[in-house]
Structures are given as structure tokens and as C-alpha cells.
Amino acid sequence: MRIAVFDDYRLGLLNDDRIHDLTPVLPGWRPGDTQFINEFIGSFGVLRPAIQRIVEHSAGLPLEQVVLRTPVPTPQHLLAAPLNYQAHRDEMQGSLTAGPGTADTLGFFLKAPASISDPSAPIELPNLPNRRIDFEAEIAVVVGKHMRAVSPEDALRHVYGYTIIFDMTVRMNETEREERTMRKSYSSFSPLGPWVTTTDEISDPRDLTLKAWRNGDLLQDASLNDLIVSVPELLSRASRVFELKPGDVYATGSPAGVGQVAPGDTILAESPQIGRLELQVSVRDW
């Protein structure tokens, strides 16, 4: 299933370019209540039969008539893998340090969930003269169930689905070497969407592929089969650090080909199994 969030944070099922509003079958839904979406994700398994019936009994709205929101507006945790493709490690050599790539040594970093933005919202670059700002297009995993010390073998049973994230990053230079969390957490630095494709359509994340373009030029072309630390291993290891919650998002790492962005650019990421996330780059006015 493709589950979207639209307009006043309604949940919707996307089917043949039409959005079917799910909120009539969701007790307790209120306009603008983003925490409800985490509860929905945690209850997705039991809600599925009701969701399936909605498609049969509603006409749906054309996709172009709604405003798509990010499908996970307020995860409790936004985790991200650093340097999880060999070719990206090679291109970053010298500018970053990282241990060997195993589940136990790679680790993760956290971005502020407040950096998440909608699929239709521009990326607003902060005013940081002479700093390089890059995009990293990545597949993101959305956790569906509480995970505490879950083994890699059991990890995928806890996944709700997959979506696309741009992990926007202010690069360090010789003299400016702030903590990664700050450099990656500016507002709009984690556009997420356009919706979540749930695990009934993606049983093995290694099947996922992702391409990304800047102004029409292909810069990134990746398969999750090439991850150094796999999705089950990432989730399992993190679940031994703290308990992952329904709605938590884990960005799996950037493929090689990260690209610098400037105001006026258009960046596009596409995964055939998920969809397209296309964004304008602008300048923030605050």
C-alpha cells in the first residue's frame, strides 16, 4: 500500500493516482494532529482490513487536488547512517572520519525531527556565506512497531514501510567544524516523502533502488543491495541503544554522487518502488 498524509494531516491511501481519505475509519483523528500519525503507524496492522474496505467504498480524490504533507511529520527519532556505501566513503575520504563498516562500529547519528519538511515545500538554505551545502538522496525506513533489542532476523517484521529523504548537509571546512547534528538539522533539511510504500509491496529492502538528479543531471544511482550495513542490521543495532518507536525514521545512508546545491536548483529523487520527490532550492527569509 502507498500511505500518504495530505491537507490538514489526513491519512490517505494512494491508488491509481487517487487519494482515498482514511480518516473516517480512524477514531480519534483530529485535523493537524501529527502525533496521531505515529499512533496510526503503530496500529497499521490491525487497521489494514478497514483501510482496504475504504478503497472499495470511496471514489477518492485526484492526487493533484490535494496538498501532500510529509508522511511522517513528527517521528520521535530521526536516525541516519553515515558512510554506508563504499563508493560514498571513497568520495568523502579526508573530509570525514569513520570506523570500519560493521553494524557494531558504523553507528548512527540523529537529526532534529523539526528538520523534516513536506514534499511540496522548498529547501530553504540558511545564510551561511562560503559554506558548501549538499544534498544526499537516501531511502528511509519507517519503523512500525516498538523495537527493543531486536535481532537482525526479526527486524524487518517491525518495519512499516519505506520512503525517500534528502539528508541536507552543511559541509565542514578547514576552520568550521561544527557538530554534525547542527549542520544537518536546519529547517527543511530533511524533506521526506512523497508517501510511504508499506512492506506488503516491499518485502526485502535490498530490492529498492534510488536515483537522484540535480537540474536534470543524474548524480546518484544506487541499490540498497550495496549497503555496507544492511537495513536489518541498522535497525537491530539501534534497537540495542534505545527503544525504537512506531513512526521513527532511519535514513539508510547516501550513495556516492552527493551534489552541492544553490538557490534556484531543482533536485529530484526517484525510487520505482516508492515514487518521486522533487524539490526547489531557495533561500530562507528568517
Q: Using CA atoms, how far apart are residues 90 and 92, in angstroms rounded to an integer?
A: 5
Q: Using CA atoms, how far apart are residues 19 and 8, in angstroms rounded to an integer?
A: 14
Nearer to Mn ion, 79 or 143 (CB): 79
Closest to 29 (Cα-Cα) out of 40, 19, 20, 18: 40
Query: Please, what is the minimum distance in Å from the beta carbon of residue 227 to Mn ion?
Result: 12
149 phi/psi in degrees, rounded to 5: 50, 55
**Per CB under 5 A, 254 contacts Mn ion:** yes
Q: Tell me which stretch binds Mn ion (CB under 5 A): 167-175, 202-210, 221-229, 274-282.
A: 167-175
Query: How many residues belong to the chain?
Result: 286
Nearer to Mn ion, 68 or 78 (CB): 78
42 phi/psi in degrees, rounded to 5: -70, -20
The answer to whether the beta carbons of residues 27 and 46 sit under 8 Å apart is: no
- For residue 83, the 8-state DSSP code is S
Query: Please, what is the minimum distance in Å from the beta carbon of residue 196 to Mn ion?
Result: 19
* Cell 526479526, residue located: 154
Nearer to Mn ion, 6 or 166 (CB): 166
Nearer to Mn ion, 199 or 254 (CB): 254
Closest residue to Mn ion using C-beta atoms: 167
Nearer to Mn ion, 66 or 123 (CB): 123
**Per CB under 5 A, 252 contacts Mn ion:** no
Query: Please, what is the minimum distance in Å from the beta carbon of residue 111 to Mn ion?
Result: 9
The answer to whether the beta carbons of residues 49 and 220 sit under 8 Å apart is: no
Per DSSP bridges, beta strands 10-15 and 18-21 are antiparallel
* Cell 535514513, residue located: 251
* Cell 536516525, residue located: 79
Query: Please, what is the minimum distance in Å from the beta carbon of residue 286 to Mn ion?
Result: 25
Q: Considering only residues 167, 188, 212, 267, which one is a binding residue for Mn ion as defined by CB under 5 A? A: 167
Q: What is the greatest pairwise CA distance in the chain? A: 60
Nearer to Mn ion, 146 or 180 (CB): 180
Nearer to Mn ion, 51 or 228 (CB): 228
Q: Considering only residues 118, 136, 233, 248, which one is a binding residue for Mn ion as defined by CB under 5 A? A: 136
Query: Please, what is the minimum distance in Å from the beta carbon of residue 32 to Mn ion?
Result: 30
Within 62-121, the residues that bind Mn ion by CB under 5 A are: none
- Size of residue set near Mn ion by CB under 5 A: 3
255: which 3 cell numbers? 550513495
55: which 3 cell numbers? 478503497
- Reduce the DSSP state of residue 134 to 3 states and report it: strand
> Taking the alpha carbons of 97, 101, 103, 104 in that order, is the dihedral positive or negative?
negative
Query: Please, what is the minimum distance in Å from the beta carbon of residue 142 to Mn ion?
Result: 16
Q: Tell me which stretch binds Mn ion (CB under 5 A): 20-28, 29-37, 143-151, 166-174.
A: 166-174
Closest to 196 (Cα-Cα) out of 283, 123, 273, 82: 273
Query: Please, what is the minimum distance in Å from the beta carbon of residue 44 to Mn ion?
Result: 26
Q: Tell me which stretch binds Mn ion (CB under 5 A): 3-11, 18-26, 35-43, 252-260.
A: 252-260
Nearer to Mn ion, 40 or 189 (CB): 189
Report the interface residues with Mn ion, using CB under 5 A.
136, 167, 254
